[in-house]
């Protein structure tokens, strides 16, 4: 969902960086307009660059002993996010199915932008997380 909201910005960023670095680009239609994007891989798919400061390292299980760590990190992230959005989604789900909500958000990034704006305007409150 996040990518759909910020896609235009990522495409603008990609075009600027590709131009600044002198990367080979090809015209692609993404985000509703023609873009000059670099291509990646043998299949020549357009590459979309993402600024490093918006990325997060994902935990990787390299063998069975790492699975507990990966699960723990994923659960910790869910525990931080769920208190922020949980009650709002619970109220929305009582009125609409998850599939209807997902479709509404994915088909119209403006809906997600409005939702994000509403969260930003909410008064912050401390949330105690489980240790």
Instruction: Give yes or no: residues 30 and 60 share one domain.
Output: no
Statement: residue 128 has pLDDT above 60: no
Higher local confidence (pLDDT), 105 or 79: 79
- From 55, 78, 97, the end of a domain falls on 55
Domain total in the chain: 2
Instruction: Give yes or no: residues 30 and 43 share one domain.
Output: yes
CA distance 112 to 28: 25
- From 28, 55, 82, the end of a domain falls on 55
CA distance 71 to 61: 9
Instruction: Give yes or no: residues 61 and 20 share one domain.
Output: no
Statement: residue 122 has pLDDT above 80: no
CA distance 111 to 92: 13
Instruction: Give yes or no: residues 65 and 128 share one domain.
Output: yes
Statement: residue 131 has pLDDT above 60: no
Instruction: Give yes or no: residues 35 and 66 share one domain.
Output: no
Q: pLDDT tens for residues 5-56?
A: 788 888 999 999 999 999 888 888 876 789 999 987 676 788 899 888 777 7
- Structural domain range at position 29: 1-55
Instruction: Give yes or no: residues 82 and 123 share one domain.
Output: yes
Instruction: Give yes or no: residues 25 and 38 share one domain.
Output: yes
Statement: residue 114 has pLDDT above 60: yes
Instruction: Give yes or no: residues 49 and 89 share one domain.
Output: no
Instruction: Give yes or no: residues 49 and 60 share one domain.
Output: no
Q: What is the pLDDT of residue 87?
A: 63
- Maximum separation of any 2 CA atoms in the chain, in Å: 52
Instruction: Give yes or no: residues 96 and 128 share one domain.
Output: yes
Contact 49, 13 (CB under 8 A): yes
Which residues does residue 104 pair with via DSSP β-bridges, in sequence order?
none
Q: What is the pLDDT of residue 88?
A: 64
Q: pLDDT tens for residues 71-96?
A: 888 888 777 767 766 666 666 666 76
């Amino acid at each position: 969902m996040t990518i759909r909201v910020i896609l235009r910005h990522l495409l603008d960023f990609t075009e600027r960086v590709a131009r600044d670095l002198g990367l080979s680009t090809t015209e692609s239609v993404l985000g509703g307009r023609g873009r000059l994007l670099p291509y990646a891989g043998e299949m020549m798919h357009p590459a979309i660059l993402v600024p490093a400061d918006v990325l997060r390292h994902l935990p990787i299980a390299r063998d069975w002993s790492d699975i507990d760590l990966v699960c723990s990190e994923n659960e910790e992230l869910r525990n931080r996010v769920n208190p922020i959005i949980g009650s709002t989604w619970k109220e929305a789900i009582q009125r609409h199915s998850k599939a209807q909500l997902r479709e509404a958000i994915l088909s119209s990034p403006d809906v997600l932008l409005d939702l994000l704006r509403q969260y930003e305007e909410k008064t912050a409150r401390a949330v105690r997380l489980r240790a």
